[in-house]
Amino acid sequence: MAMNTPAKQTSHLKREILVRLIRAYLGDNFEEDVRMIPFDMRPKGSEVPYRCCIHKERAILRDRVIAGLGFDIEEVADYEDLSKTAKKATERKVPEEHPLTLLQTACNECVPARIHVTDLCQGCVARPCESACKFGAIKVENGKSRIDQSKCKSCGLCAQACPFQAITKIIVPCENACPVGAIAKDEDGLTRIDSEKCISCGKCVSACPFGAVHKKSQVIDIIKNIKAGKKVIAMLAPSLMGQLPCTPQQLKTAIMKLGFNDVVEVALGADITTKNEAEEFKERVIEGGAPFMTTSCCAGYNELVKKHIPEINKFRSETKTPAYYTAEIVKKNNPEAVTVFFSPCVAKRREAMGNPNIDYVLNYDELGAWLVALRVQVGDCEETKYCSESSAQARNFGITSGVANAVNSLLGENEKANAHIINGLDKAAIRDLKKFVKNEKCEFGNLIEVMACPGGCLGGSSTINGFRQASKQLDTYIQSSPDIKDVLKK
């Protein structure tokens, strides 16, 4: 399976940990098998591929196991035996609140982000770097440009002006990727995640080339409920249909082989979201005169609004997410069931914590590890039909512009939204959103679709297939699906 991340090797390491954890939990000696994972992966005398010594490698693997068990690494004592941590995982009643954790052992202690003059500097007579700087932060001293970091604003104008390209911007990958400044070094030089700022978009997870930012997995919690004989129902986000080399119907069979009692498409809820959002847009914008309305189905965007742009709430749709409506239906029909949302991103875990109808969230990469652990070949599975039919528009929700297109499909010709698409949340997109609120106007359109991940959910931080291949595979499913107007008539 192709990994949709720039750090493929770290993704493989994380998956191997999960595979071993799952097999251990389904085996006869879970706690001892977990304790031995770092030693089994790096036995005495084996090659040390990444770090200075085998002891460092094992220490990092131990921390990855802790995250795989669903715990905050910094909250587990250094001296705690992994078997004890494994036992705690089996006794846990609810998942931990914050979905991300940091491995200080794996962090490379990157130098602080800054503008830096390299040895290529020629100390030229023209001194264009000095002229370009508006803050007086750069001067030529002893034949070389020097930057006063206390004055530097990291605007990069000096780097652009240098004819030798001798000035560069040093970045810290995780900090550079975070759109809200939630990850940074503390006074001791250690990287920390500020949970008050974090929107759980997962960009730092993908960006760190050392795999130091980890998701806390809920896979053991889910398997525990299956082993206890509870009715466990899987709810599949639309983008999952493009992730694995099989048909959606084969995927259902494969997931049921893992022990799930039923599998439901979240596109079922996306049809409801589309209907409600179209009606809301018509009422608020077309008839009510509101300058614009934003979508509300992206969990990362919803966290952004909650923590950083609460003033945009009056423009955000009040319609709930597809996961919300799907879980509501599943719980209504199966009140005692345990519900598991299969998600392409970390942010949905934040949404699930505020929704009593969603018990757990399983990311796509965790599903991939689970299938590997049980040696389920998805392409060899028989096909099993889904109990309900969803529309082409709903199944297209996971691709950028899919939500806006779905809403427009239910609006009359004179009511069509002029959609403005925010294809991935970054600092520039956040500035635009704040500007729209301040001006109470969006010059680009009256329906703003916001997707935290470039490409939409299909480009989420926890996906396991390349975007192009996933998009092609999902499109095949969409093309064979009914129109939303026909689905809503039933």
Tokens 């889910």 identify what position?
A: 222
**5 pLDDT higher than 70:** no
List, in order, residues 6 or more apart from 89 with CB less than 8 Å away. Answer: 69, 70, 71, 220, 221
- Amino acid 8: pLDDT: 61
Same domain, 349 and 482: yes
**3 pLDDT higher than 50:** no
Mean pLDDT (whole number) for 25-30: 96
Q: Is residue 3 part of a domain?
A: no
Same domain, 449 and 322: yes
Same domain, 28 and 135: no
Same domain, 103 and 118: no
Element (H, E) at 473: helix 467-479
The beta-carbon contacts of 430-434 under 8 Å, at least 24 apart in sequence, are 430/179, 430/180, 430/304, 430/308, 430/309, 433/294, 433/309, 433/312, 434/309, 434/312
Same domain, 207 and 248: no
Same domain, 347 and 481: yes
Mean pLDDT (whole number) for 460-486: 95
pLDDT, tens digit (0-9, with 9 covering 90-100), for 311-360 = 999 999 999 999 999 999 999 999 999 999 999 999 999 999 999 999 99
CATH code of the domain containing 388: 3.40.950.10
pLDDT, tens digit (0-9, with 9 covering 90-100), for 187-227 = 777 889 999 999 999 999 989 888 899 999 999 999 999 99
Tell me the Cα Rg of the chain.
Answer: 25
**6 pLDDT higher than 90:** no
**141 pLDDT higher than 70:** yes
Distance, CA of 464 to chain centre: 12
Q: Is residue 257 part of a domain?
A: yes
Q: What share of the chain is helix, strand, coil (3-state, %, to 5)?
A: 45, 10, 45
DSSP structure string for 28-87: S-HHHHHHTHHHHHS-TT----SSSSHHHHHHHHHHHHHHHTT--GGGS-TT--HHHHHH
Same domain, 101 and 121: no
Q: Is residue 67 part of a domain?
A: yes
Q: Is residue 225 part of a domain?
A: no
How high does pLDDT run on average in the chain? 94
Enclosing domain of residue 139: 114-170
- Amino acid 2: pLDDT: 39
Residues 413-446, buried b or exposed e (16+ Cβ, 10 A)? eeeebebbbbbbbbeebbebbeebbeeeebeeeb
CATH code of the domain containing 136: 3.30.70.20
Q: Is residue 52 part of a domain?
A: yes
Partners of 316 in the β-ladder? 294
DSSP 326: H
Closest residue by Cα to residue 110 from 213, 198, 34, 31: 213
- Amino acid 7: pLDDT: 53
- As a whole number of angstroms, the distance between CA 58 and CA 228 comes to 32
Task: Give the burial class of 97: count Cβ atoms within 10 A of its Cβ; 0-12 exposed, 13-18 middle, 19 or more buried.
Answer: exposed
**Among 29-43, 98-112, 114-128, 253-267, where is mean pLDDT lowest?**
98-112
Same domain, 337 and 447: yes
Residues 160-188, buried b or exposed e (16+ Cβ, 10 A)? ebbeeebbeeeebbbbebbbbebbbbeee
Q: Is residue 224 part of a domain?
A: no
The predicted model scores a pTM of 0.91
Mean pLDDT (whole number) for 271-285: 98
2 vs 124, higher pLDDT? 124
Q: What's the domain count of the chain?
A: 3
160 vs 9, higher pLDDT? 160
Q: Is residue 410 part of a domain?
A: yes
Partners of 184 in the β-ladder? 192
Closest residue by Cα to residue 242 from 267, 210, 208, 224: 267
pLDDT, tens digit (0-9, with 9 covering 90-100), for 399-444 = 999 999 999 999 999 999 999 999 999 999 999 999 999 999 999 9
**279 pLDDT higher than 70:** yes
Same domain, 397 and 278: yes
Same domain, 344 and 473: yes
Same domain, 292 and 359: yes
Same domain, 93 and 166: no
Q: Is residue 164 part of a domain?
A: yes
